[in-house]
Amino acid sequence: MATRAYPQFYLNDAQQNLGVMFDYAIRTLQYEGDRFFFYFIQSKVAEKFEHANPKYLAGVSGIELCENVLQKTGEKFAASQNIRIEQGAEFWTGWSLAYYQWYSGLRFSDLQEYGLVPSQILTRYILHEADISKFVEIANKIIQKNKDASPTRLQKYRKAQGMTQAKLAELSGVSLRMIQLYEQRQSDINKASGETITALARALCCNFYEIMEIELDD
């Protein structure tokens, strides 16, 4: 079972805040959902959620969260004086994202990387009538499908560095064959020794987590 992102007693507040944040951003400020989600991650406010910062989980309103995201990313916007929050599709999108991030323990940037973005969630609004476990099931399928169709993170980081497999083997001390197996998903990098993953991460100038594959909890 995945480790939950933070204590459950914060969850209701976190869901409410993200629900209000997305409703305000999309309906009132007229931001496209995926674009605003990108700003949420870019602003580092998403990380505050992931690291269980009480101020961001429960200490400010969803409207304040939204405006904080836009300020941190340098977006110019006119704060509305006529705010009406509705618990419709936009609210449910944020509410569901908050739940799934808490439940899965993944980063919001992981969700974005593998296609669990507002545009995908909005089209599945009918799920608001079902138990949240149904949304988790669908979200897992979206992420797994996109993950399977994507290169491994090890390969992405290696290519981003302009490095061949042979060069990575030379710099890390990990055999060329093992690097090939990890990139082909014939060997699970998550089951490699900490020493191996650390050596690869150092050679690629990234952290331990960045080259590990995400794991989904049923």
Same domain, 135 and 171: no
Q: Which domain holds residue 184?
A: 153-210
Same domain, 140 and 76: yes
Alpha-carbon gap, residue 94 to 118, rounded angstroms: 8
Alpha-carbon gap, residue 33 to 185, rounded angstroms: 33
The helix (run of H) or strand (run of E) holding residue 98 is helix 89-104
Domain boundary among 115, 132, 148: 148
Same domain, 76 and 134: yes
Q: What is the pTM of this model?
A: 0.89
Q: What total of structural domains would you count in the chain? A: 2
Closest Cα partner for 168 from 194, 202, 140? 202
pLDDT in tens, 129-151: 999 999 999 999 999 999 999 99
Q: Has residue 186 been placed in a domain?
A: yes
Are 206 and 157 a contacting pair, CB within 8 Å? yes
Confidence at 16, pLDDT banded by 50, 70, 90? very high
Tokens of 90: 């936009």
Confidence at 2, pLDDT banded by 50, 70, 90? low
Are 189 and 152 a contacting pair, CB within 8 Å? yes
Same domain, 118 and 186: no
Domain boundary among 124, 148, 172: 148
Same domain, 82 and 100: yes
Domain boundary among 148, 174, 194: 148
Q: Has residue 2 been placed in a domain?
A: no
Alpha-carbon gap, residue 52 to 50, rounded angstroms: 5
